[in-house]
Structure 1
Amino acid sequence: MGKLIRLAVTFFQIGLLSIGGGYAIIPMIQEQVVERFSWVSQKTFTDIITISQMTPGPLAVNTSTFIGIQIAGIPGAVLATFGCVISGISISAFLYRLFQRFQKSEYIMELLSGLKAASLGLIISAAVTILLLSFTGTSVISEIRTADWTAAAIFLCSLFVLRKWKLNPIAVMIGTGIVGLCVSMI
């Protein structure tokens, strides 16, 4: 299968199974593009996730676009993005019609409760993956001993500042970037 077709099919599958949104799908994207196909390195994947979080738009779409560019340039970006988005659009249209028809059904409400629980689990998994990638450069929990404790301290301080004083997140990001740069020069 050609690289472009494999890219489109892979991101179609990712989009098809992205219950819970962008953060919940990070582990699946990582498993496909880093571990299964080795399209990008773990470090590059971490950088792509970081950039995807800072750019406007949904995380899964931004990530698929950036990975598509890394793998096959502009055609790769277009196909990966299309694959990621078209499945979600199709599912949303189908579910909209289904919920309109059965909105009073208690079976549908129970199904939604189960999906919410699965979504929460996926989001927690994504949060752990992001923290591990940020502090260890890998998503393997046993590598916690190699964590960058300076980065963890900067993260905890910025989290405290954001929660305590409700500062502008962009200002905090710029400040933590400057602190990280200064610490790396020491």
Structure 2
Amino acid sequence: MNKLIKMILVFIKIGTFTLGGGYAMIPLMQKEMVEKNEWIEDEEFIDIIALSQTIPGALAINTATYIGYRLFGLKGALLACLATMLPSVVIILIVAVFFVQFQNIELVESIFKGIRPAVVALILVAVMKLGKSLPKTIVNIFWVIGSVLCITLLHIHPILIIIFSGILGYKLYKGENVDESNS
């Protein structure tokens, strides 16, 4: 029961202290799930992030649901999902009630302008941490650069990149896991 409560508190913390959406939550999630609590390995975390992006819904909610399910089954999935959402819902309700009254105040505007670069930094940290655990092969480097170029220059939708990457990954790596399990 203590581990379940700890998981709930961790997801409440993640939902409370990260601004900027799912990508900004990745560094904190990685620190809590992989480094601090050792609930999952770094490679599995990357797989969870990839899976969470391929299914409908918010990245943080999908990730929390998966990790909650992995740790405590259906009960864990539901509680992790709710724990991640709860702080945002409360904050949004508070902001909705008071923001209209304070939105034109210079202090509030300045605070939000200051938060924006921090959110970008959180996303960059997530990219760097995820990139560290990616094997530095020619294929992976080409894959990352190619995906970025396809999205930014050719305006190919990220979903198509994910689908194509899954198909290409299957073709390039099929049988690789079978060989490892027979060793």
Q: TM-score, normalised by structure 2?
A: 0.86
Q: Residues 9 and 168 of structure 1: is their aligned pair in 2 closer, same or farther, counting only changes over 3 Å?
A: closer
Is 1:23–1:126's contact at 8 Å kept on the other side of the alignment?
Answer: yes
Is 2:54–2:159's contact at 8 Å kept on the other side of the alignment?
Answer: no
Give the equivalent residue in structure 2 for 1:178.
Answer: 167
Give the equivalent residue in structure 2 for 1:144.
Answer: none
2:63 is matched by which residue type in structure 1? T
Unaligned stretches of 5+ in structure 1?
A: 137-146
Q: Residues 121 and 160 of structure 1: is their aligned pair in 2 closer, same or farther, counting only changes over 3 Å?
A: closer
Give the equivalent residue in structure 1 for 2:47.
Answer: 47
1:168 Cα deviation after fit: 4.7
Give the equivalent residue in structure 2 for 1:142.
Answer: none
CA separation in 2, counterparts of 1:161 and 1:105? Answer: 41
- Aligned residue pair count: 175
Give the equivalent residue in structure 2 for 1:64.
Answer: 64
CA separation in 2, counterparts of 1:51 and 1:35? Answer: 20
Q: Percent identity?
A: 31
CA separation in 2, counterparts of 1:170 and 1:95? Answer: 32
The Cα offsets for residues 90-149 of structure 1, whole Å up to 9 and x where unpaired, read as 11111222212212211111111111121121122122223334x23xxxxxxxxxx233
Give the equivalent residue in structure 2 for 1:34.
Answer: 34
CA separation in 2, counterparts of 1:67 and 1:6? Answer: 13
Task: For 1:1-186, list aligned pairs within 5 A.
Answer: 2-133=2-133, 135-136=134-135, 147-184=136-173
CA separation in 1, counterparts of 2:52 and 2:92? Answer: 23
Unaligned stretches of 5+ in structure 2?
A: 177-183
Is 1:15–1:85's contact at 8 Å kept on the other side of the alignment?
Answer: yes
The Cα offsets for residues 137-186 of structure 1, whole Å up to 9 and x where unpaired, read as xxxxxxxxxx2331221222233334444445444333333333333369
Q: Residues 8 and 108 of structure 1: is their aligned pair in 2 closer, same or farther, counting only changes over 3 Å?
A: same
1:18 Cα deviation after fit: 1.4
CA separation in 2, counterparts of 1:157 and 1:166? Answer: 12
2:168 is matched by which residue type in structure 1? V
State the secondary structure of the residue aligned to 2:112: helix
The Cα offsets for residues 42-84 of structure 1, whole Å up to 9 and x where unpaired, read as 1211111110111111111111000001111111111111110
CA separation in 2, counterparts of 1:84 and 1:47? Answer: 20
How big is the alpha-carbon RMSD for the aligned residues of Structure 1 and Structure 2?
2.0
